């Protein structure tokens, strides 16, 4: 990306994504490889009136070295430094901006227990802070092209520079920045997504039935107090943010105990730096009771066994098959993009924002209301060119919601 593109991208991230307001504190989390974009993001934050901007740097090579050399016990520690950081955030919840440039193969070859056991041990200690911070301030996740990522996506390009250029162009297109009206493009797009969410809310479907030629035949009940949402979320401080960019989804909360049938993934899943391919799941009374995969089965089995809630659905998301991301016709190996290519489901933690009047409910009340609880939230793609989704209302009335992979309403 040239300097002008960096500046425009940073402006979209701060203005549309994080929606930074005067006198707010901002945390930018990114790798050292994103320094040029991070500098522009920090600049835009201050121009928006931010009180303080702190960059929390990471290094992919060092992160891998830690996993290779530290014990599970050490990796599982919740240090005083971390605890102090969370306590500071509770006093003044900051706006958070994550910039992702991860190598999809970063953790390949790392023992599964090194990736999962520390998470299991740390989560109970961190969870009270996460619950308290949830929804308190704006946040967003965006991406920055990296060479390792580009080579994974475009392995047949003659040069590394050409692979990187193609990834840059893909990100610019999906971020609606390939013209001179990025702000207007985003406002129109977010308005359209909200319009689709309002249509779904008007039907108030009791359940959805998915059918596709690859073997998917799944019925999912929706939470009785569900509402359809978009990535443009209003936070408890009164300001909204676009929590992930790009975004193409309209989503809601399933009834935790209702999923019945079989679903076949339409795209590989990159999970903890490992690829799970050609996989399927069977559900009974909401729970995954059988999984299969031609590649990465051990990682899939470990994922659904992370905790009690990991085998239940926490999100139902509708994304048209002809989305900008899917039009690129390349797997991104990155959930931020791949989940917004086509329809997806998510195993694990439920999205509390999809419960009506969630703002007035405590964490305990949300859990009691049936919002699934888990340390994971993993999106996997199920959209196909022939996917049909039928919405079923409480009186049995059926409405075609998706036809041939795209919106029918």
Same domain, 226 and 367: yes
Contacts of 76 (CB under 8 A, 6+ apart): 117, 118, 121, 122
Contacts of 66-71 with C-beta under 8 Å, sequence gap 24+, read 67/107, 67/110, 67/114, 67/115, 68/110, 68/114
Work out how many domains the chain is built from and give that number.
2
pTM (global) more than 0.85: yes
Model pLDDT for residues 38-65, shown as the tens digit of each residue: 999 999 999 999 999 999 999 999 999 9
Choosing from 87, 114, 144, the residue where a domain stops is 144
Same domain, 231 and 139: no
Q: What is the DSSP letter of 229?
A: B
Q: Is the pLDDT of residue 76 over 90?
A: yes
Same domain, 261 and 356: yes
Query: Is 165 contained in some domain?
Result: no
Same domain, 194 and 129: no
How many whole angstroms separate alpha carbon 47 and alpha carbon 298? 48
Check residues 364 and 275 and name the one with the higher pLDDT: 275
Same domain, 104 and 222: no
At 366, the pLDDT band (50, 70, 90 cuts) reads: confident
Same domain, 357 and 218: yes
Tell me the average pLDDT across 3-12.
92
Tell me the average pLDDT across 367-373.
82
Q: What is the pLDDT of residue 112?
A: 87
DSSP labels, 105-121: TTTTT--HHHHHHHHHH
What percentage of the chain's residues is helix, strand, coil (to nearest 5)? Answer: 40, 25, 35
Q: What is the pLDDT of residue 60?
A: 92
At 201, the pLDDT band (50, 70, 90 cuts) reads: very high
Q: What is the pLDDT of residue 202?
A: 97
Q: Is the pLDDT of residue 381 over 90?
A: yes
Report the greatest alpha carbon distance in the chain.
59
Query: Is 292 contained in some domain?
Result: yes
Q: What is the pLDDT of residue 56?
A: 97
Model pLDDT for residues 262-274, shown as the tens digit of each residue: 999 999 998 887 8
How many whole angstroms separate alpha carbon 16 and alpha carbon 232? 9
Cα–Cα separations (whole angstroms), residue 26 to 31, 49, 89: 16, 11, 10
The CATH number given to whatever domain includes residue 109 is 3.40.1830.10
Q: What is the pLDDT of residue 2?
A: 83
Instruction: Please state the φ and ψ torsions of residue 98, each to the nearest 5 degrees.
Output: -100, 130
Cα-Cα-Cα-Cα dihedral sign, residues 66, 69, 70, 72: positive
Same domain, 250 and 110: no
Bridge partners of 347? 313, 378
Tell me the average pLDDT across 114-140.
93
β-strand 232-234 against 240-242: which pairing, if any? antiparallel
Same domain, 73 and 191: no
Choosing from 87, 116, 144, the residue where a domain stops is 144
Neighbouring C-beta atoms of residue 359, cutoff 10 Å: 12
At 105, the pLDDT band (50, 70, 90 cuts) reads: confident
Check residues 351 and 203 and name the one with the higher pLDDT: 203
Model pLDDT for residues 142-185, shown as the tens digit of each residue: 999 999 999 999 999 999 999 999 999 999 999 999 777 898 99
Query: Is 167 contained in some domain?
Result: no
- Please give the residue range of the domain that contains residue 115: 3-144
Choosing from 144, 169, 197, the residue where a domain stops is 144
Same domain, 122 and 10: yes
Tell me the average pLDDT across 370-395.
95
Query: Is 169 contained in some domain?
Result: no
Same domain, 121 and 217: no
Same domain, 273 and 378: yes
At 102, the pLDDT band (50, 70, 90 cuts) reads: confident
Model pLDDT for residues 280-321, shown as the tens digit of each residue: 999 999 999 999 999 999 999 999 999 999 999 999 999 999
31 neighbors 59 (Cβ within 8 angstroms): yes
Tell me the average pLDDT across 320-338.
94
Q: What is the pLDDT of residue 34?
A: 96
At 125, the pLDDT band (50, 70, 90 cuts) reads: very high
Average pLDDT, the chain: 94
Q: Is the pLDDT of residue 258 over 80?
A: yes
Same domain, 132 and 192: no
């Amino acid at each position: 990306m040239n300097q002008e593109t960096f500046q425009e991208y940073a402006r979209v991230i701060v203005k549309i994504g994080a929606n930074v307001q005067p006198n707010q504190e901002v945390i930018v989390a990114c790798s050292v490889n994103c320094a040029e974009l991070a500098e522009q993001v920090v600049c835009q934050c201050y121009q928006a009136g931010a009180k303080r901007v702190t960059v929390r740097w990471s290094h992919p090579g060092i992160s891998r070295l830690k996993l290779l050399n530290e014990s599970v016990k050490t990796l599982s520690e919740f240090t005083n430094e971390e605890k102090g950081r969370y306590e500071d955030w509770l006093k003044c919840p900051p706006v958070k901006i994550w910039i992702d440039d991860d190598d999809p193969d970063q953790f390949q070859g790392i023992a599964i227990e090194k990736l999962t056991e520390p998470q299991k041990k740390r989560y109970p200690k961190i969870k009270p802070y996460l619950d308290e911070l949830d929804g308190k301030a704006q946040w967003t996740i965006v991406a920055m092209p990296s060479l390792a990522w580009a080579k994974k996506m475009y392995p047949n390009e003659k040069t590394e520079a050409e692979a990187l250029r193609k990834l840059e162009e893909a990100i610019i297109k999906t971020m609606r920045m390939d013209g001179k009206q990025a702000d207007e493009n985003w406002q129109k797009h977010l308005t359209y997504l909200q319009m689709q969410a309002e249509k779904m809310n008007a039907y108030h479907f009791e359940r959805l039935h998915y059918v596709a030629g690859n073997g998917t035949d799944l019925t999912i009940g929706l939470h009785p107090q569900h509402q359809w949402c978009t990535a443009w979320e209003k936070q408890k401080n009164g300001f909204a943010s676009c929590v992930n960019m790009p975004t193409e989804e309209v989503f809601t909360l399933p009834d935790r105990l209702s999923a019945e049938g079989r679903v076949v993934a339409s795209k590989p899943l990159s999970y903890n730096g490992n690829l799970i391919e050609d996989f399927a799941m069977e559900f009974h009374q909401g729970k995954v009771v059988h999984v299969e995969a031609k590649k990465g089965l051990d990682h899939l089995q470990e994922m659904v066994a992370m905790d009690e809630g990991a085998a239940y659905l926490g999100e139902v998301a509708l994304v048209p098959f002809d989305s900008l991301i899917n039009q690129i016709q390349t797997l991104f190996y990155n959930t931020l993009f791949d989940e917004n290519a086509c329809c997806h489901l998510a195993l694990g933690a439920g999205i509390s924002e999809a419960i009506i009047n969630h703002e007035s409910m405590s964490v305990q009340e949300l859990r009691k209301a049936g919002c699934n609880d888990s340390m994971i939230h993993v999106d996997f793609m199920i959209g196909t060119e022939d996917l049909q989704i039928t919405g079923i209302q409480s009186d049995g009335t059926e409405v075609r919601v998706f036809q041939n992979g795209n919106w029918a309403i």
